[in-house]
Amino acid sequence: MNIESLIFYGVPIYLIFMGILVVLTTKNLFKMLLGLSLMDSGINVLIVALGYVKGGTTPIFSEYPKIYEKVVDPVPPALVLTAIVIGLAFLGLGLSIAIRIKEKYGTVNVEKLKELKW
């Protein structure tokens, strides 16, 4: 367990757990959505870290491609772009629903949403 892998895998996992912790402990719907967004970011960072190759450079071939050079895996960063956009769409929708809740209930406290039980 060297310090590099600790940073690469520890930080995103910490972010994910912090996001889940925020979702579980807060009563404010707005903060809950921020926690979900934090968790999304943590997962995106973790995915980029999964594609890292030790000592690798960016996977861009210049005019004379040096095949023997190590490059990092290009697939995860490319797909994380898609995941980031999806997260943005989710956050926008969630905030719009939160605004509606504020209109109807007069509060964004989740404990007050007690219309439906069992």
Q: For 81, which DSSP code?
A: H
Nearer to other proteins, 47 or 72 (CB): 47
| Amino acid identity for residue 83 in this structure | A
Closest contact distance (angstroms) between CB of 8 and other proteins is 13
Toward other proteins, which CB reaches closer, 63 or 81? 81
Nearest approach in angstroms of CB 95 to other proteins is: 11
Q: Which is nearer to other proteins, 6 or 97 (CB)?
A: 97
Residue 63 DSSP code: S
Q: Whose CA is closest to 40, among 97, 93, 85?
A: 85
Cα separation of 35 and 115, whole Å? 24
CB distance 18 to 55 below 8 Å: no
Which residues bind to other proteins, rule: CB under 8 A? Answer: 20, 23, 29, 32, 36, 39-40, 43, 46-47, 50, 75-76, 79, 82-83, 86, 89-90, 93-94, 97-98, 100-101, 104-105, 110, 113, 115-116, 118
Q: Which residues are CB-neighbours of 13 under 8 A, at least 6 positions away?
A: 42, 46
- Assigned token pair, 13: 């996992």
User: Least distance to other proteins from the beta carbon of 35, Å?
Assistant: 9
In the complex, least distance from residue 78 CB atom to other proteins, rounded to whole angstroms: 10
If the CB atoms of residues 66 and 104 are measured against other proteins, the closer one turns out to be 104
